[in-house]
């Protein structure tokens, strides 16, 4: 009998269960923001007559398009990150000659008072998010998630055939932790996105701690802190150090501007991290590790960008409210939702025809559209296009094709 604690690849391959899970994992791809944004674009590609798409394939933005549809960071990687990439590139013939990935994990762990074996480095946080759902849900162990929230965990649950329990956000648009905890006594994963994508709203740390104490036995909390640096939300990394049943996800795709470079973390007790390993142990792109390390070592980066993006968000939200548009909740990140009172997909299509690509709608709120925070110049173009769209009734005149859109979740309740 093989030792279940032995996580070496040969031991994993020798285990029948692992092979079964590997076949299962192949059933559904890892779905991230890039895929979801692209699917949403495809769902709104039939333009109303007279809406030119600049002669481009509808999924390819024209060069001057304002891209505020995928919660990316237009500032890109920091200068220090770019220099680190340029330095490491000539060594790219080796997997990781200088041990950048280990240095990265050690640096993050030291910055947060964690042992290094509590930090697993991945090429973005989509991977560990997907693997967490694969590892801890099953037809008997549900995925519990807020609605609306980031959809990626629900896609992962399609593979494990776990029931999906969707719980409406609370009145302040934070997570309703009592309802999440009560949603299923056999929950496998309770997903909390803090701040939340798409609303940008915050869930209080004390609420997350309450959920940790009261969640069903055998479940884990999956706390996705992709946007935490852009907000004043308090993180829960100390709860990992305290040994709780918790996986925290971090990414370098947001404040650090590295969505196309790829780096992220799963932070958890080693026994929980070991449960993710059978699903993928790919090498890190050394460019991602070195750029992330340079970013962590740049003490000014987070506060500077938080202020820049925060100022742009504040100005945009102030304009929207002064113009009589309804912003949902109190968004604190690089995205927010507007309740347009119209068919959201039609608004998105009309905006795109004006060269401004905004994000998608969620089934629970078909009139609300998600908008990412771009540069001040981009948000000026957004304001012009949004006002013109809302002033014209063209947005009302078009309906999305019924078959278009991302896959549905047949097993969700
Ligand atoms: N989690 C949330 C809430 C996100 O919005 C995203 C991307 O937008 C991710 C995770 C994954 O990002 P990545 O795989 O680029 O790290």
The conformation of residue 148, written as its DSSP 8-state character, comes to S
Predicted pLDDT at 45: 63
The pLDDT-based confidence of 20 (bands split at 50, 70, 90) is very low
Instruction: Enter the DSSP assignment of 228.
Output: G
pLDDT, residue 406, reads 44
77-296 matches 33-76+301-396 in CATH topology? no
pLDDT digits (tens, 9 = 90+) for 318-330: 999 999 999 999 9
pLDDT tens digits for range 31-71:
899 889 988 887 776 544 333 444 445 567 889 999 999 99
- Cβ atoms of 187 and 215 within 8 Å: the answer is yes
Residue 250: left (phi > 0), alpha (psi -120 to 50), or beta?
A: beta
Q: ω before 327 within 30° of 0 (cis)?
A: no
Put the strands of the sheet holding 368-372 in their side by side order: 326-327, 335-339, 368-372
Percentage of residues in the chain with pLDDT exceeding 90? 80
Q: Where are the domains of the chain?
A: 33-76+301-396, 77-296
393 alpha carbon – ligand 1 mean position (Å): 34
pLDDT at 352 over 80: yes
Cα–Cα distance for residue pair 40/34, rounded to 1 Å: 10
Strands 335-339 and 368-372: antiparallel
Give 114-144 pLDDT, tens digit per residue: 999 999 999 999 999 999 999 999 999 999 9
Higher pLDDT among residues 48 and 97, named by residue:
97
Residue identifier of the C-alpha nearest atom 6 of ligand 1: 33
Task: Label residue 17 by pLDDT band (50, 70, 90).
Answer: very low
Nearest to 381 by CA among 352, 360, 361: 352
**Cα-atom radius of gyration of the chain, to the nearest Å?**
21
Is the model more confident about 18 or about 355?
355
Write the pLDDT tens digit of every residue in 263-305: 999 999 999 999 999 999 999 999 999 999 999 999 999 999 9
Q: Determine the Cα–Cα distance for residues 268 and 245; give it in Å rounded to an integer.
A: 8
CB of 225 closer than 6 angstroms to any ligand 1 atom: no
CA distances (Å), 413 to each of 12, 166, 211, 250, 409, in order?
Answer: 34, 7, 21, 28, 9
Give domain 77-296's CATH architecture: 3-Layer(aba) Sandwich (3.40)
Task: Report helix angle 344-353 to 376-391, nearest 10.
Answer: 120
Q: State whether the beta carbon of 251 lies less than 6 angstroms from ligand 1.
A: yes
* Residue 394: per-residue pLDDT: 55
Give residue 405's pLDDT: 44
Distance 132 CA to ligand 1 centre (A): 14
Beta strands in 306-367 (DSSP E): 326-327, 335-339, 356-358
Ligand 1 atom closest to the CA of 149, numbered from 1: 3
Residue 367: Cβ-neighbour burial (10 angstroms; 0-12, 13-18, 19+)? middle
Distance 16 CA to ligand 1 centre (A): 32
- How many CB atoms are closer than 10 A to CB 285? 19
The answer to whether residues 233 and 265 touch, using CB atoms and an 8 Å cutoff, is: no
Q: What is the mean pLDDT of the chain?
A: 89
Greatest alpha-carbon pair distance for the chain in Å reads 70
Is any atom of ligand 1 closer than 6 Å to the C-beta of 290?
no
Atom of ligand 1 nearest to the CA of 251: 16
- H-helix segments, 175-278: 177-182, 205-214, 237-241, 270-276
- Is the CB of residue 129 below 6 angstroms from any atom belonging to ligand 1? yes
Sign of CA dihedral 353, 354, 360, 362: negative
Q: Is the CB of 195 under 6 A from ligand 1?
A: no
Are the beta carbons of 192 and 175 closer than 8 angstroms?
Answer: yes
Give the number of the atom of ligand 1 that is nearest the alpha carbon of residue 196. Answer: 3
Distance 225 CA to ligand 1 centre (A): 9
DSSP character at residue 407: P
Residue labelled with tokens 């481009």: 56
Backbone angles phi, psi at 164, to 5 degrees: -110, 120
Running DSSP on this structure, what letter comes out for residue 365? B
Q: Is 0.85 topped by the overall pTM?
A: yes
pLDDT at 396 over 70: no
Q: Is 209 exposed, middle or buried (0-12, 13-18, 19+ CB in 10 A)?
A: middle
* 290 vs 314: CA distance, rounded Å: 33
Report the distance separating Cα 336 and Cα 368, nearest Å. 10
| Ligand 1 lined by 196 (C-beta under 6 Å) | no
What does the alpha-carbon distance between residue 364 and residue 198 come to, in Å, rounded to a whole number? 12
**Ligand 1: centre distance to CA 156 (Å):** 14
**Which CATH number does the domain 33-76+301-396 belong to among 3.90.1150.10, 3.40.50.920, 3.40.50.140, 3.50.50.60?**
3.90.1150.10
Ligand 1 atom closest to the CA of 252, numbered from 1: 16
* Ligand 1: centre distance to CA 58 (Å): 24
- Asked whether the CA dihedral 323, 327, 329, 333 is positive or negative, the reply is negative
193 lines ligand 1 (CB under 6 A): yes
């Amino acid at each position: 009998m093989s030792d279940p604690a032995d996580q070496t690849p040969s031991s994993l391959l020798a285990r029948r269960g692992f092979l079964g899970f590997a076949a299962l994992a192949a059933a559904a791809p890892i779905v991230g923001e890039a895929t979801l944004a692209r699917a949403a674009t495809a769902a709104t590609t039939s333009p109303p007559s007279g809406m030119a798409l600049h002669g481009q394939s509808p999924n390819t933005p024209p060069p001057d398009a304002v891209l505020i549809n995928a919660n990316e960071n237009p500032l890109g990687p920091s200068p220090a990150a770019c220099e680190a990439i340029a330095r490491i590139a000539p060594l790219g013939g080796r997997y990781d000659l200088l041990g950048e990935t280990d240095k990265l994990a050690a640096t993050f762990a030291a910055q947060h008072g964690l042992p290094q074996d509590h930090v697993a480095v991945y090429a973005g946080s989509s991977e560990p998010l997907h693997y967490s759902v694969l590892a801890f849900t099953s037809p008997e162990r549900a995925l519990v998630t807020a609605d609306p929230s980031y959809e990626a965990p629900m896609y992962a649950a399609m593979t494990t055939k776990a029931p999906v329990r969707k719980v409406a956000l609370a009145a302040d648009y934070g997570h309703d932790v009592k309802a999440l905890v009560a949603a299923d006594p056999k929950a496998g994963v309770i997903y909390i996105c803090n701040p939340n994508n798409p609303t940008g709203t915050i869930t209080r740390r004390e609420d997350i701690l309450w959920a940790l104490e009261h969640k069903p036995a055998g479940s884990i909390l999956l706390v996705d802190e992709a946007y935490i640096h852009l907000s004043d939300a308090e993180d829960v990394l100390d709860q990992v150090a305290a040994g709780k049943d918790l996986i925290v996800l971090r990414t370098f795709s947001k404040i650090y501007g590295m969505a196309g470079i790829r780096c992220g973390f799963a932070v958890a007790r080693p026994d929980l991290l070991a449960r993710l390993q059978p699903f993928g142990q790919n090498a890190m792109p050394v460019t991602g590790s070195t750029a992330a390390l340079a970013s962590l070592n740049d003490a000014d980066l987070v506060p500077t960008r938080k202020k820049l993006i925060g100022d742009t968000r504040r100005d945009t939200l102030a304009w929207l409210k002064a113009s009589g548009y309804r912003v949902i909740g109190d968004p604190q990140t690089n995205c927010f939702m507007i309740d347009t009172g119209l068919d959201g997909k039609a608004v998105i299509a009309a905006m795109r025809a004006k060269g401004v690509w905004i994000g998608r709608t969620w089934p629970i709120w078909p009139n609300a559209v998600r908008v990412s925070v771009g540069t001040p110049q981009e948000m000026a173009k957004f304001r012009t296009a949004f006002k013109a769209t809302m002033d014209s009734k063209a947005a009302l005149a078009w309906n999305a094709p019924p078959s278009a859109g991302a896959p549905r979740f047949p097993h969700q309740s």
